[in-house]
Amino acid sequence: MNGASSKVLTMLKKGAIGVFPTDTLYGVVGSALSKKAVERIFAVKGRSEGKPLIILISSLDDIKRFGINLLPDHVTYLESVWPGAFSIILPCPHQKFAYLHRGTKSLAFRMPKKKSLCDFLKVSGPLTAPSANPQGLKPAHTIAEAKKYFADSVDFYFAGGRKTGKPSRVVSLLSGKPLILRK
């Protein structure tokens, strides 16, 4: 980990939010375990209250931090699509995480394929990472575009070149079997 990523890591652990390159697009990231950071992300994005955030994780064990016990069929499915650009919705009825699930009683997780990002997540812990754009606008592909959207309403910008990936696929496991919600 270089000096810049160490500085970002320290900021995230203190509840900061910022624009950071994910495996697909730039995201507005913050600790998924910090209610303050999550609330700030909703505010700076102008995100609808009933639209939960995707949480980036480094391993299946991270899901346990949210009180979710995976069924054997879930584990088999997750191991077949992760790491990769699949965001998987799982049940999370715990009131403790209402600031994340926004009343939906479910959370979406993604384990990125990019090794350097997974290594970062092993140290940072789970991060929320919705795309870097205000709701209804196109995602930022560069830090310059993100700065036009957010200016000084975020705590940091971490450049990672031009990001032209597509948003992840979204798959629900709420009924027990995979249901594709976004291709």
Q: Report residue 2's pLDDT band, with 50, 70 and 90 as the boundaries.
A: low
Closest CA to 8 of 149, 154, 167: 154
133 vs 182, residue with greater confidence: 133
Full domain range(s) for residue 112 = 3-182
What CATH number does the domain containing 18 carry?
A: 3.90.870.10
**pLDDT tens digits for range 36-54:** 999 999 999 988 777 788 9
Residue ranges in 14-60 assigned as alpha helix (H): 35-45
Number of domains in the chain: 1
pTM reported for the whole predicted model: 0.92
**pLDDT tens digits for range 10-25:** 999 999 999 999 888 8
| pLDDT reported for residue 180 | 87
Question: What percentage of the chain reaches a pLDDT higher than 90?
Answer: 70
Q: DSSP E strands: which ranges in the chain? A: 18-21, 26-31, 54-56, 86-91, 106-110, 127-128, 156-157, 169-172, 179-182
* 106 Cβ neighbours under 8 A, 6+ residues apart: 52, 89, 90, 91, 92, 172, 174
